[in-house]
Amino acid sequence: MGIAVIFPGQGAQAPSLGAPWRDHAAWSVVERAEAATDTELAALLLDAPADDLRRTREAQLVVFLSSLMAWETARESLPVPVAFSGHSLGLITALVAAGVIPFDDGCRLAVRRADATQAAADRNPGRMAALLGADYDQCSEACKAAPDACWLANDNAPGQLVIAGTPDGVEAASARAKDVGVRRVTPLNVGGAFHTPLMREAAEALEADLASTPFAAGRIAPVVSNTDAEPHDDGEAWRPRLVDHLVKPVRWAATMPALSSLGASTFVEVGPGTTLTSIAKRAMPDIALRNVSSPADLPVPLEV
């Protein structure tokens, strides 16, 4: 049996995530990313206050770079993974880690994706809310309270669904969710309605950028996509998947068993936070779980 490497998405950001890496060899990831994108990135990882990191663009770049620094070091002590995946933004990180997108191109793509989703969120304001203890029927019934204004955005695990839409749409759907017996509705502190039609402008912008992004077949292991929860190692076909990825729900509940079916007995979450291993702990109790978020987590103790 083997390991699956998974990468977190937006929401895992926090101030000073780069500090533990500043004097580590992995800091070269930030320097290479700055050169590739002609963008100042170090300050985001070292000095940006929490309020700045609530913005979509800054949050995505901090999580992306922190995850890549952790992977740069963790891969030296890990066995070759049987698969990769990532939640939302983490899918871009997974494609870079798996060798599907070259590092420089992946950094440029991450910056463009962050810019495009920020612009779409500014033009089409949205909100998200977690429905805890909800099932599909309850989620569907809740969204019916706001037709074309609220949708399922994340299917994270049984009983953990996330809706997103316009502010009025999410408010109406949240109220309806309580009426149909959802145990708890928790607004999320995010800056847009991600993985819904409100991100269509971002998807169109990213589609143009993806036309010039080189893709290769997975050089290390297949990457499981969020949109269909299937493993892929077909290179160029990732372009339409990544466009769809911005406007379709994240199917993380189905992604986890897909990783297991590829031979993973251990999930290693690489990057800030423990969101994905916390989800897996409840949904996949037979899977061993590890986290790498700073140099203190290395080498990774494994029994595979």
- Residues annotated as catalytic (active site), given as ranges: 88, 195
State which amino acid sits at residue 15.
P
Q: Which residue has the tokens 């990313």?
A: 33
Q: How open is the CA angle 53-120-248, to the nearest 5 degrees?
A: 95
CA angle 227, 218, 34 (to 5 degrees): 85
| Neighbouring residues of 286: CB distance < 8 A, sequence distance ≥ 6 | none
Retrieve residue 39's tokens: 């963008």
Residue from 246, 183, 235, 245 nearest 213 by CA: 235
Residue where the block lists tokens 């949050």: 59
Beta strands in 8-149 (DSSP E): 83-86, 127-134
Q: Which residues contact 3 (CB under 8 A, 6 or more apart)?
A: 78, 79, 81, 82, 264, 265, 266, 267, 268, 302, 304
**How many CB atoms sit inside 10 A of residue 50's CB?**
10
